[in-house]
Amino acid sequence: MSQDAIFVGGGHLRSALAVWREWGLDVALEDAWNDGVLLAGMSAGAMCRCEAALGGPIEQGNHRIQRGLGLIPRACAAHCSKLNISWRRANLLSEVHRGLIPPTLAIDAYAAVLFKDHTLARTVSRTNMSTAHRVERRNGRVEETPRVAVVE
């Protein structure tokens, strides 16, 4: 709890969460979050804090919805750029359409999001082509709402 920030890199989401839960790191991260420690991460390290996440890659058996730490009440999917139609984005849209995943924050490459008090406060990007999108099912359709990103 003496840290100002904890950074979690990418990797295999399902494996990381299983090990953290076994070792009690999930509780330590929640305590840090509640004490105001900045939790940062990329890819799996970003998705892990949410209620649910859409893992990848398929060849590692990690492409379905994973139960995250639940610190942020929504789902998250990384590497889901609208500019790059990939299996990740297609899988996300399918899972949302089928109602199998809650409203999801899809984060493009080169974009980042900042939460303050459990609320999405800011989206930043290295390019004007990347951002984050809210992806949800409404009236039987999947809707993607982009967040305005500050280019830094």
Which residue ranges make up each domain of the chain?
5-151
Considering 18-27, 40-49, 62-71, 108-117, the range whose residues carry the highest mean pLDDT is 18-27
- Region of residue 106 (left: phi > 0; alpha: psi -120 to 50; beta: else): beta
**Partners of 144 in beta bridges:** 135
User: Residue 57's pLDDT band (boundaries 50, 70, 90)?
Assistant: low
User: Residue 141's pLDDT band (boundaries 50, 70, 90)?
Assistant: very high
Rounded Cα distance between 134 and 102, Å, is 11
Question: What pLDDT score does 23 carry?
Answer: 96
Which has the minimum average pLDDT: 25-34, 50-59, 67-76, 111-120? Answer: 50-59
Instruction: Judge if pTM exceeds 0.75.
Output: yes
85-114: pLDDT as tens digits = 577 788 888 889 988 888 999 988 888 888
The CA-atom distances, in angstroms, between 91 and each of 9, 14, 38, 62 are: 23, 17, 30, 12
Considering 108-112, 114-118, 132-136, the range whose residues carry the highest mean pLDDT is 132-136
pLDDT at 115 over 60: yes
pLDDT at 12 over 80: yes
- Report which of residues 142 and 126 the model is more confident about: 142
67-77: pLDDT as tens digits = 899 998 889 98
Question: What pLDDT score does 92 carry?
Answer: 86
CATH architecture of 5-151: 3-Layer(aba) Sandwich (3.40)
Rounded Cα distance between 131 and 113, Å, is 9
Question: What pLDDT score does 146 carry?
Answer: 86
